[in-house]
Chain A
Amino acid sequence: MANPGGGTVCNGKLHNHKKQSNGSQRRNCTKNGIVKEAQQNGKPHFYDKLIVESFEEAPLHVVVFTYMAYGIGTLFGYLRDFLRNWGIEKCNAAVERKEQKDFVPLYQDFENFYTRNLYMRIRDNWNRPICSAPGPLFDVMERVSDDYNWTFRFTGRIIKDVINMGSYNFLGLADKYDESMKTIKDVLEVYGTGVASTRHEMGTLDKHKELEDLVAKFLNVEAAMVFGMGFATNSMNIPALVGKGCLILSDELNHTSLVLGARLSGATIRVFKHNNTQSLEKLLRDAVIYGQPRTRRAWKKILILVEGTYSMEGSIVHLPQILALKKKYKAYLYIDEAHSIGAVGPTGRGVTEFFGLDPHEVDVLMGTFTKSFGASGGYIAGRKDLVDYLRVHSHSAVYATSMSPPIAEQIIRSLKFIMGLDGTTQGLQRVQQLAKNTRYFRQRLQEMGFIIYGNENASVVPLLLYMPGKVAAFARHMLQEKKIGVVVVGFPATPLAEARARFCVSASHTREMLDTVLEALDETGDLLRLKYSRHKKSARPELYDETSFELED
């Protein structure tokens, strides 16, 4: 997966993209594959939009320099390991006890080498403690290190009013107490904080029932069930749905919770290329034709695992094509809408609404409340018999404590706010403001000449940095000089040569804040020479075909 090519995605059309000249055609456009099917079925699809996403390749010299930098880092890593081994230098990392020196080594793989020698040097850019609510502005505690990031100490000062471009606060609902949160105070007074039981025993409150009905109404499905933790929703419920003798087709870049759930279930897992429907179709055909590996029997179930928005790439799943494939080969579809619920679609209902499709066509809709709703927990929604089955058979329902009542009330409040049930249109305005902010931010970054990955409408914006030295310099410079908090991501979470900075646009960012951030990015980009894009877009975007209802600017 450490592909220096920058992602051979978008249905394999990247080769055409390279041959075409620079400047005019920067985008890979794929037409909505379901149009023909709609005409055959006679069902009207009022969305007929082109999917606009780009995954530009880096210039060659950048890739060469990146690998060279990692090579130099590795050489120095070997040198330092040698010095530490021979006792010339004190070892601060974890090391086996003297009595265990002759056993099989515990700390020797590449991952540990990388952690000890490369990650430790730039570790001050991660795990930064903050001391306020993660709203559009927040406070960061200042810390320094005396021994090159092995230990930290707090100076006692606080960096105030840092612009927050890293929190998953898409609709701005994760903020300090204000008057609209009064119901949460009341719930806290009546129910307390802890539930002290699992769903099966005595942990099902009327708040949970109210929440589940509201979630089902929001998503326009028959029923839903909520769980206390988003990660656990995936990892504990996929084993309840599939088992041995089933086949899981999972996207290359799926989140760890999906991978863990798939592995725990004991089913056979096959991976298809990221967002690539040809790869998925090939796997489906092979599965249906050849069946299980040795016995050649038919698979008991085929489950396709995808995400709504992929947070590391900023890409949105090609849902219409995948639905067409699912119907043709009779497979089941599980969508993890952690980053797309509340953030994507004209009224925030997720990717099904974004593409204008019926949510009843997806078998299992999963999502979390951490990102757009400012709470914690996850849900699984779908048909009533599916949810009833999960109520009985899910590991999370039997063993894990259920959701805390104030959190449930916060989600109820957020859902009512977004749906407009509290009497105002503020929720809808926030969803539209998020879409506006996203498009503005992405467009300006592309005009400036940075390489941005992903779909135009995804509010998670990865900006490619590539070289490890620049990653560290970027994060430090943005916090200390410009007072903007950004999240940078490097090797284990991304391929080795594609380190990036990931911005999360929020509806509570005002135009001035976004302009401040963009100006700072412009200056930092010039200082660190980060503007690698060879396709500078003009100020007026090229017209693309949207025959559908569009948000007015």
Chain B
Amino acid sequence: MDLRRVKEYFSWLYYQYQIISCCAVLEPWEQSMFNTILLTIIAMVVYTAYVFIPIHIRLAWEFFSKICGYHSTTAN
């Protein structure tokens, strides 16, 4: 019962996405092409975020801590 409501909600959400992004008026092969391209872009963004954001944060943290450390040693 709950699964059916969840499925209805997702199909309503998909319908909203279709009419907002003009996919509702495209032919089926154009819709599949557009969805594929969009999903590919989103997958690439997620992958890049997963791989690179921790490294960038670590490097930025080291950089700023070195600056603050240098600043405190000169202040002393």
Contact = CB atoms under 8 A, between A and B. Distances in A.
Interface string A4-36: 000000000000000000000000000000000
B27 interface: yes
Contacts of A69: 20-22
A489 interface: no
A472 interface: yes
Contacts of A65: 20-21
B25 A472 contact: yes
A122 interface: yes
Interface in A449-496: 467-470, 472-473
A70 B22 contact: yes
B40 interface: no
B23 A469 contact: yes
Contacts of B26: 76, 121
A472 B20 contact: no
A513 interface: no
B25 A122 contact: yes
Nearest to B22: A69
B19 to A, nearest CB: 4
Nearest to A147: B27
A469 B24 contact: yes
A148 B27 contact: yes
B46 to A, nearest CB: 21
Nearest to A80: B30
Interface in A58-90: 65, 68-70, 72-73, 76, 79
A528 B19 contact: yes
Interface residues of B, number: 13
Q: Which bucket holds chain A's interface residue count?
A: 20 to 34
A529 interface: yes
Contacts of B34: 72, 76
Contacts, number: 43
B75 to A, nearest CB: 47
Nearest to A466: B20
A121 B25 CA distance: 6
Interface-centre pick from B16, B24, B27, B34 (highest chain A CB count, 10 A): B24
A468 B22 contact: yes
Chain B CB count within 10 A is highest, among A68, A72, A122, for: A72
B14 to A, nearest CB: 13
B19 A470 contact: yes
A278 B72 CA distance: 65
Contacts of A473: 19, 24
Nearest to A62: B20
Nearest to B30: A76
Interface string B19-59: 11111111100100010000000000000000000000000
Interface in A36-76: 65, 68-70, 72-73, 76
A65 B19 CA distance: 10
Nearest to A473: B19
Contacts of B25: 73, 118, 121-122, 468-469, 472
A447 B70 CA distance: 64
A63 to B, nearest CB: 12
B22 A467 contact: yes
Interface in A172-231: none
Nearest to A472: B25
A468 B23 CA distance: 10
A469 B34 CA distance: 15
Interface string A148-176: 10000000000000000000000000000
A50 to B, nearest CB: 38
Q: Which of A148, A469, A529 has the most CB of B within 10 A?
A: A469
Contacts of A79: 30
B10 to A, nearest CB: 15
Given A69-B21, A473-B24, 4 more contacts: A72-B34, A118-B25, A122-B25, A529-B16
5 contacts: A72-B23, A76-B26, A121-B25, A469-B20, A470-B19
Interface of B: 16, 18-27, 30, 34
| Ranked 3 nearest A-B pairs via Cβ | A469-B19, A69-B22, A121-B25
